[in-house]
Homo-oligomer: A and B are copies of this chain.
Amino acid sequence: MAGIKVHGAAMSTATQRVLVCLEEKGLDYELCPVNMATGEHKKQPFLSINPFGQVPGFEHGDLKLFESRAITQYITHENAQKGTNLLCQGKEMAILGVWLEVEAQKFEPVASKLNWEIVFKPMFGMQTDPAAVEENETKLAGVLDVYETRLSQSKYLGGDSFTLADLHHLPNLQLLLNHQSKKVIDARPKVAAWAADITARQTWAKVLALHKK
């Protein structure tokens, strides 16, 4: 799978989601920086890849994709035999599909709001809203209560091996672990062990190192 270009930013959680998937599959790619400070993502030529003007954009030959979770689905289906097997088959895939949706519909909205308030707002010189933090930490606790039960039945969310459902959590989960909301994770032993496990993957360290460059 030659000629992969990821247009994005190493600090963007959605870009990181695609990069760690490419690393797990052992694929070569070029990270083409999009300067969000100058609004490059809201102008052509980036809008020809993602008309919504959000990173990342993805190119493979003449195929252009956007939405990080659609990109990882493409990568994993096209490269099923390479690197880590991030999918499964039949009924196991159906269960994995449920947890892919849980990440997107339940975890992401609250985790990204917390990270916006606690990490990104201060970075942009804006004030964190303590009420929004409290509201979303309560919501996160409710979501992670369900995860705690799930992770007492299987080592990973999709089953007994690391899959795309776990991988999709990495960027927002890593940010949560770096700030006060870590307490919500720490209060749930199975969730804490899972979070420590998946964020310790070498592929993820490689993506974080890109960010620190």
Contacts and interface: CB of A to CB of B under 8 A. Distances in A.
B67 A101 contact: yes
B97 A74 contact: yes
Nearest to A98: B70
A70 B63 CA distance: 25
Contact of A101 (B70, B91, B93): B70
A106 interface: yes
B51 A70 contact: no
Contact of A70 (B69, B74, B100, B150): B100
A77 B93 CA distance: 10
A94 interface: yes
Contacts of A149: 51
Contacts of A63: 91, 94-95
Interface string A37-73: 0000000000000011000000000010111011001
A146 B51 contact: yes
B105 A67 contact: yes
Chain B CB within 10 Å, residue with most, of A95, A97, A104: A97
Contacts of A74: 93-94, 97
Interface string A137-151: 000000000100110
B52 A70 contact: no
A97 to B, nearest CB: 4
A70 B99 CA distance: 8
A52 B145 CA distance: 10
A69 B95 CA distance: 12
A102 interface: yes
Interface of A: 51-52, 63, 65-67, 69-70, 73-74, 77-78, 91, 93-95, 97-98, 100-102, 104-106, 146, 149-150
